[in-house]
Amino acid sequence: MADDISKKFSGMELAHSILAKRYLADEVSISQVSASRAEIETERQKLEEVQRLCELTQNAIKEIDVQIQQALQSVAQARHEFCLARRNELFREIKVDSKFRSRIIEAMSAHAMSGSGSGSGSGSYTWQVEQFVRDSLSSIMPEITELEARKASENFNKTNSL
């Protein structure tokens, strides 16, 4: 719209210049020149208003873009915090599961007594829970396929509206 008004404005100024020359040659009246000038001023005001509105619109778009980016970051942060909180909640549930705990301890004892640890049956390093879990995690946990993990992830997203 500003381009159209700008083109029209340029044409009007050229026409006014020609009209002013014709006035000097006494071919048109001063009222015609004045009317032409008034029309140009009206169009100039329109152009300035359109340009001002365009600038305001561009600034508003920039502000909205910033707000959208901030909202996206906030959503991503909230999602991250929610997922970590849920993971930690599940870890706490696992920690206090007495049956799971007793089975881990029994598995550690069986491993230690098997002689797999140091070869003497004492298996001293296996009494370190972290070491045992790190070494034995794949045999303790059921085999989980990538497909199962992906489906569980999709279900988690759907269930929690993520």
pLDDT digits (tens, 9 = 90+) for 86-137: 999 998 998 899 998 888 888 888 877 776 554 444 444 557 777 777 777 7
47 within 8 A of 55, measured Cβ to Cβ: no
* Of 35, 4, 33, residue with least CA distance to 17: 33
Tokens of 140: 């303790």
For residue 1, the model assigns a pLDDT of: 65
104 within 8 A of 141, measured Cβ to Cβ: no
Tokens of 137: 């995690």
- Record the pTM: 0.55
